[in-house]
Amino acid sequence: MHRLISAFVVVLTLAAFQAAPTSAAPIARKAPTRLHAPPEGGYLVTLPGDLATIRYTPFSLDRAARLQSRLELAMRSWERWTNTRVAVTAFVVSREEWESSGYGVDYGVPVRVGRAAIAVPALGDDGTVALWSEVLDGMLPQVQGAPFRGSAPHASTMVLADIVAQLLAAEIVIDEVGLAGNEAWVRGLTTHVASLDFVRRKEAARLADLDAMYKLIIQRRGEKVMSSRDYQPDLELGDWLYFQACFHFGAQTILSKEGKGALKKLRKLRKKDGGVLQADRLLRQYPQLDEWYHAFFSAVSFRH
């Protein structure tokens, strides 16, 4: 398992970017904020797991196995720090299977399907390159070594897709352990606390890469361009990714204080407020988080 994890981590080097073509004009793209139905049909092969079972389209075993290794390690890590056993299923599907499922989210961006499952792309292609190039201003992370399938830009989009997949898996855990909070932005923040906690302890070499990617996203917009109240299910993909970048740096303020005990501490705070984690209590508990909140979010909405 650890060998597979290491092989995945070394392909991501966001400190140096490679240019890729962008689309002529921005396209409205939906964010992965809603629950969808699982892919239909009995064509998917099952790769059983303890905490991560993979259903994959034929000829995608390599990708399915690598994804399962990461998800198993992540889910086991979160189980240890939340004292809650949560299992997930991941559907690894082709572009044709994705489009026939009618998700409405572009192929290349994972989505949640049902309460505890995600659907992810099986293979990068020219469409996923165009999608992520648009999101990242024409720049894609470099891939070290020969990809299993497709070109290097194709493979780099699967690295980006798996960053989103990990966030969605963390979101499933946050929902299950009751840390979604009383405001939508709290759920986004605690999701990143869980995801970043895992990265810090198991994939520390990726931290600088994630920082670089999220800084790039924020630099495109600047700080304080949206209110925390704008974090809603109707977001377009670019806005959703902007919020993820903000939450990434907010999560760092909590982890810098609590370390590996962050998730346990958040559960204790939730109990003090009758079982629902309160935004106001979070900001009072963590002065640096309060500074982050007022630095990154505007007091009024600029979306409408």
177: nearest Cα among 189, 187, 165? 187
Which amino acid, residue 179? Answer: L
The whole-number average pLDDT for the span 245-261 is 94
pLDDT for res 112: 98
Q: How confident is the model at residue 186 (pLDDT cuts 50, 70, 90)?
A: very high
Which amino acid, residue 157? Answer: T
Helix (H) or strand (E) run with residue 164 in it: helix 152-177
pLDDT for res 220: 84
pLDDT for res 12: 44
Architecture of domain 2-296: Orthogonal Bundle (1.10)
For residues 236 and 227, give the distance between their C-alpha atoms in angstroms, rounded to a whole number: 15
Partners of residue 121 on adjacent β-strands: 93
pLDDT for res 22: 46
CB-based contact 38:74 (threshold 8 Å)? no
The 3-class SS string of 187-245 reads HHHHHHHHHHHHHHHHCHHHHHHHHHHHHHHHHHHCCCCCCHHHCCCCCEHHHHHHHHH
- pLDDT tens by residue, 271-291: 988 899 999 999 999 999 999
Which position has the token pair 């670089």?
Answer: 212
Residue 149 has pLDDT above 80, yes or no: no
Q: Where are the alpha helices (DSSP H) in 37-144?
A: 61-82, 95-101, 126-135
- Identify the DSSP state of 260: G
Residue 2 has pLDDT above 50, yes or no: no
pLDDT for res 151: 82
For residues 150 and 271, give the distance between their C-alpha atoms in angstroms, rounded to a whole number: 49
Q: Output phi, psi for 164, to 5 deg.
A: -65, -40
For residues 110 and 89, give the distance between their C-alpha atoms in angstroms, rounded to a whole number: 13
For residues 93 and 99, give the distance between their C-alpha atoms in angstroms, rounded to a whole number: 10
Q: How confident is the model at residue 196 (pLDDT cuts 50, 70, 90)?
A: very high
For residues 153 and 55, give the distance between their C-alpha atoms in angstroms, rounded to a whole number: 25
- Identify the DSSP state of 70: H
Which position has the token pair 């840390």?
Answer: 179
Of 89-98, 172-181, 216-225, the range with the lowest mean pLDDT is 216-225
Residue 15 has pLDDT above 50, yes or no: no
The whole-number average pLDDT for the span 84-89 is 96
pLDDT for res 225: 87
pLDDT for res 178: 95
- Identify the DSSP state of 261: G
Which position has the token pair 């080097």?
Answer: 13
Task: Show me where the domains of the chain are located.
Answer: 2-296
pLDDT for res 255: 96
Residue 161 has pLDDT above 90, yes or no: yes
pLDDT for res 303: 63
Q: Output phi, psi for 240, to 5 deg.
A: -60, -45
The pair of three-digit structure tokens given for residue 80, joined into one six-digit string: 């240890």
Residue 167 has pLDDT above 80, yes or no: yes
Give the chain's mean pLDDT.
88
Of 13-27, 165-179, 255-269, the range with the lowest mean pLDDT is 13-27
